[in-house]
Chains A and B, each alone.
Chain A
């Protein structure tokens, strides 16, 4: 069973607030990913990391930033949340290849 955790699961916040979505995995995976998914829509890769101190932007442009200071931790930060950031954010990890283990997601609503 995958051990990847996301907090908070649900967050409702006002415009202009800074938020950090946490993602941690206990599997020792080097590769970690952040996807954005609106209800009923496709997954969009917004950030990925292949190891400590390595981060890259994904296919979908995002105003969020990420950091990877420890192997197990890959937080995503929005400095100033806007209603357009309302979405579900999914964190995933893998050892490589296409076998991704997803967290349960963080559903963000910005009022």
Chain B
């Protein structure tokens, strides 16, 4: 079992819709959870992090964490074509940050 699992996609959503990206992790000692966005041919950039169970909102982005289910998600409201990218989930255990393989999101006009 991979430490961090994501569906590779592509996930296609129409412009204006809510995109839901999911991630599961195996280590119950995981402390912090991060979402990175990577445009094609570019480097990853951090867009959100969450430490506590529940929701955390930042503009059109909402991160959701459920430690009991070992599940973290990212919701993107009012999806725009500029949101088309690969979204990487990353999990921190101690000093070690482990990335998932990423989910490709395509927002269609």
Contacts and interface: CB of A to CB of B under 8 A. Distances in A.
B88 interface: yes
A100 interface: yes
A5 to B, nearest CB: 12
A99 B49 contact: yes
A42 B90 CA distance: 11
Contacts of B33: 98
A110 interface: no
Interface residues of B, number: 20
B46 A100 contact: yes
Contacts of B32: 97-98
Interface of A: 41-43, 50, 90, 96-105
Given A103-B43, A104-B43, 18 more contacts: A41-B101, A42-B101, A42-B102, A43-B88, A43-B99, A50-B95, A90-B44, A97-B92, A98-B33, A98-B90, A98-B97, A99-B49, A100-B36, A100-B97, A101-B46, A102-B45, A104-B42, A105-B43
Interface of B: 32-34, 36, 42-46, 49, 88, 90-92, 95, 97, 99-102
